Amino acid sequence: MSIGTIGFVGAGNVALTLIKGLLSASAVGAERIMASAPSNRNLQVIGDLGAKTTSSNREILETADTIFLAIKPNLAGAVIKEIAPFVKRDQLFISLAAGISLDFIENNLPERSRVVRAMPNTPTIIREGATVFACGSHIKEGDNRLIQSLFSKLGICIEGDESIIDAAMAVSGCGPAYAYVAIDALADGGVKMGLPRDIAIKLAAQTLLGSAKMVLRGGKHPSQLKDDVCSPGGTTIDAIHELERGGFRKCLIEAVEAACNKARRLNDAMLYSNKK
């Protein structure tokens, strides 16, 4: 089973990131990718990468074997209804729309359409991404292995039940933004204490990168690794005390909760709108 030709309905930053990652990983040739969008904002960039572009979603449906729904959640209902009349039986749909459930997509595409819901993140562009996906009710045997193989070329890929997708999106989908804030804040601290800005940013970024690799490769729980850095009466435990006093953990936990709840509200709003 092959991924075949790939079409992107929507050509925003999510689509552009994924296309660049797929090309960088040599997962698919540019001549087998097509993207559609109503404006040329990203289509020019995608075209410069060697992929085909169009302003017609219908053309994507008439051409592609695997179709990524790279659309904003508030547009999902209208776009899915627009493309539904042109769906072919053997096409595979991969939705990247935050908060939009498999049930909603399946109910608005032709009966027994093959649908997968996937949540990649922006580091897929450098093949260091994290993707979680869930399969719909009518996938064929081997579809999940196909998705696993494709996204594993772009980083780690985990298959799970749809019930974890919104939470995964809130951790790994939004997570790069949390990490960038942390890097920026660490660098600000370094500058405040006398480091040049460029050195502070490099040190902060490399520190998060190295720490993440130790979590993934070392086999220790993050709390154990934190304890390894905190010498009794040392500088690090004083710094951790300040983080705890400032509610560092609480802020991260509540950020994940807020993102997850927003995704769930998006699906509820789409269901309500669809009933009107």
Considering all CA atoms of the chain, what is the largest pairwise distance in Å, rounded to the nearest integer? Answer: 68
DSSP alpha helix (H) spans, the chain: 13-24, 43-48, 57-63, 76-83, 102-108, 143-152, 165-168, 175-192, 197-218, 222-229, 235-245, 248-275
> Exposure of 227 by Cβ count < 10 A (0-12 exposed, 13-18 middle, 19+ buried)?
middle
Q: Domain 6-164: which topology?
A: Rossmann fold (3.40.50)
Could you tell me which residues come within 8 angstroms of residue 116 by beta carbon, excluding any fewer than 6 positions away? Answer: 92, 93, 94, 95, 133, 134, 135, 136, 139, 143, 144, 147
Residue 2: pLDDT band (50, 70, 90) is confident
**Which pLDDT score, from 0 to 100, does residue 276 have?**
55
β-bridge partners, 94? 68, 116
Closest to 21 (Cα-Cα) out of 165, 147, 120 = 120
**Which pLDDT score, from 0 to 100, does residue 117 have?**
97
**Which pLDDT score, from 0 to 100, does residue 275 have?**
58
Percent of all residues in the chain with a pLDDT value above 90, rounded to a whole number: 91
The DSSP output letter for 170 is I
- How confident is the model over 7-32, as a mean pLDDT? 95
Residue stretches of the annotated binding site: 57, 70-73
**Which pLDDT score, from 0 to 100, does residue 217 have?**
92
Average pLDDT, the chain: 94
Residue stretches of the annotated binding site for NADPH: 57
Q: Is the pLDDT of residue 10 over 60?
A: yes
Q: Is the pLDDT of residue 269 over 90?
A: no
Amino acid at 191: V
Query: Dihedral of CA 179/182/188/190: which sign?
Result: negative
Could you tell me which residues come within 8 angstroms of residue 73 by beta carbon, excluding any fewer than 6 positions away? Answer: 97, 98, 99, 100, 266, 267, 270
Residue 201: pLDDT band (50, 70, 90) is very high
Q: Is the pLDDT of residue 214 over 70?
A: yes
**Which pLDDT score, from 0 to 100, does residue 271 have?**
63
How far apart CA 65 and CA 60 sit, in angstroms, is 9
Percent of all residues in the chain with a pLDDT value above 70, rounded to a whole number: 97
Q: How far is the CA of 260 from the CAs of 166, 255, 257, 273, in angstroms?
A: 5, 9, 5, 20
Residue 220: pLDDT band (50, 70, 90) is very high
Q: Is the pLDDT of residue 237 over 90?
A: yes
DSSP per-residue string spanning 197-254? HHHHHHHHHHHHHHHHHHHHHH---HHHHHHHH--TTSHHHHHHHHHHHTTHHHHHHH
**Cβ atoms of residues 137 and 102 within 8 Å:** yes
**Which pLDDT score, from 0 to 100, does residue 8 have?**
97
Closest to 226 (Cα-Cα) out of 203, 205, 243, 251 = 243
| Domain 175-258 superfamily per CATH | ProC C-terminal domain-like (1.10.3730.10)
Q: Where are the domains of the chain?
A: 6-164, 175-258
Q: How far is CA 242 from the centre of its chain?
A: 32
Q: For 36-86, how does the pLDDT look when each residue is reduced to its tens digit (9 = 90+)?
A: 998 888 899 999 999 999 999 999 999 999 999 999 999 999 999 999 999
**Which pLDDT score, from 0 to 100, does residue 100 have?**
93
- What are all long-range contacts of 244-252, with beta carbons under 8 Å and residues at least 24 apart? 252/178
- How confident is the model over 13-28, as a mean pLDDT? 95
**Cβ atoms of residues 125 and 20 within 8 Å:** yes
175-258 has the same fold as 6-164: no
Residue stretches of the annotated binding site for NADP(+): 70-73
Q: Is the pLDDT of residue 194 over 70?
A: yes
